[in-house]
Amino acid sequence: MSKTLIVANWKMNPKSFKDAAKLFEMVEKNVKLSKDAEVVVCPPFLWLRELRSKKLSLGAQNCHFQMSGAFTGEVSSLMLTDAKVEYVILGHSERRQMGETDAQINLKVKTALKDGLKPILCIGEKEDEEINLVLERQITQALEKITASQLEQVAIAYEPVWAIGTGKACSADNALSATLFIRRILTKLYSRFLAEKTPILYGGSVSSENCAQYLDRSGMNGLLVGGASLDADQFVKIINTVSKR
Ligand code: PGA
């Protein structure tokens, strides 16, 4: 079984490096990590080289699919590995909202893997969408031409768009249905073995109160935490709750 993965997506927060360093330090100081759990902090690009820890891994929130060139405002996966970043969140719904397509996400997954990053691929339906259709399309397209051995470096984060930043977290039962469906798609694309092995995370209004159910009752292997990861006490509570499981 893979490690429990707890990912902090800071998004465009906090407001200053001073606050970022303080938050990072507080988390590092107070987490009690079991050897079966890994915490990945994903700050804005600017601070990736500044925040270093032996206990916490680092991830970026996006990367470009080209190695270098005339892409104003972008950061390549190669630049991230050069900065000793290990993970990258790809296909987050907020980026899809800004126009990122499944085809672009597929290019990013391919480039990230080639350059040695571990992608955390985000998928999820909007409130008015048919969940299974959306998940199947997003997974199939994002993983096109990704080999079985490459898949071993990928984690999938199920984040229903309606649950992100709204306080309306997905029920444990619905999250379980999503987990089973995602594993079914992965079985179809790869094998039952790989489908079982791929870490599936839940994201969307995760809090210290609701976090345990996704690991205990939804078959998830970890969490992608937005808002609650900006509060050191809350985030440490989440880590300490789920890393014992
Ligand atoms: P949230 O965000 O925890 O604030 O809902 C999760 C995410 O966007 O990854």
Q: What is the pLDDT along the chain (245 residues), one digit of tens a residue?
A: 579 999 999 999 999 999 999 999 999 999 988 889 999 999 999 999 999 999 999 999 999 999 999 999 999 999 999 999 999 999 999 999 999 999 999 999 999 999 999 999 999 999 999 999 999 999 999 999 999 999 999 999 999 999 999 999 999 999 999 999 999 999 999 999 999 999 999 999 999 999 999 999 999 999 999 999 999 999 999 999 998 76
Is 8 near ligand 1, meaning CB less than 6 Å away? no
Query: Mind giving me the DSSP string for the chain?
Result: -PPEEEEEE--S--SSHHHHHHHHHHHHHH----TTEEEEEE--GGGTTT---SSSEEEES--BSSSSSS-TT--BHHHHHHTT--EEEES-HHHHHTT--HHHHHHHHHHHHHTT-EEEEEE---TTS-HHHHHHHHHHHHTTT--HHHHTT-EEEE--GGGTTTS-PPPHHHHHHHHHHHHHHHHHHS-HHHHHHS-EEEESS--TTTHHHHHHTS---EEEESGGGGSHHHHHHHHHHHTT-
Q: Which of 149, 163, 86, 79 is nearest to 120 (CA)?
A: 86
On the CB side of 229, CA atoms within 13 Å amount to: 26
For ligand 1, atom 6: residue with the closest CA: 226
| Cα 19 to ligand 1 centroid, rounded to whole Å | 19
Please say whether the beta carbons of 151 and 198 come within 8 A: yes
Is 198 near ligand 1, meaning CB less than 6 Å away? no
Is 164 near ligand 1, meaning CB less than 6 Å away? yes
Domain boundaries in the chain?
4-243
For ligand 1, atom 1: residue with the closest CA: 226
Please say whether the beta carbons of 176 and 222 come within 8 A: no
Please say whether the beta carbons of 120 and 224 come within 8 A: yes
pLDDT computed for residue 166 by the predictor: 97
* CATH architecture of the domain with range 4-243: Alpha-Beta Barrel (3.20)
pLDDT computed for residue 1 by the predictor: 55
Kindly give the number of the ligand 1 atom that is closest to the alpha carbon of 206: 3
Torsion of CA 49, 51, 57, 59, to 10 degrees: -50
Is 159 near ligand 1, meaning CB less than 6 Å away? yes
**Residues taking part in catalysis:** 92, 159
Q: What is the pTM of this model?
A: 0.97
* Residue to substitute in 10, 62, 224, 229 for testing ligand 1 pocket (most ligand atoms within 8 angstroms of CB): 224
| CA 180 to each of CA 8, 166, 188, 229: distance values in angstroms, whole numbers, following the listed order | 24, 24, 12, 27
Kindly give the number of the ligand 1 atom that is closest to the alpha carbon of 228: 3
Please say whether the beta carbons of 59 and 40 come within 8 A: yes
Is 225 near ligand 1, meaning CB less than 6 Å away? yes
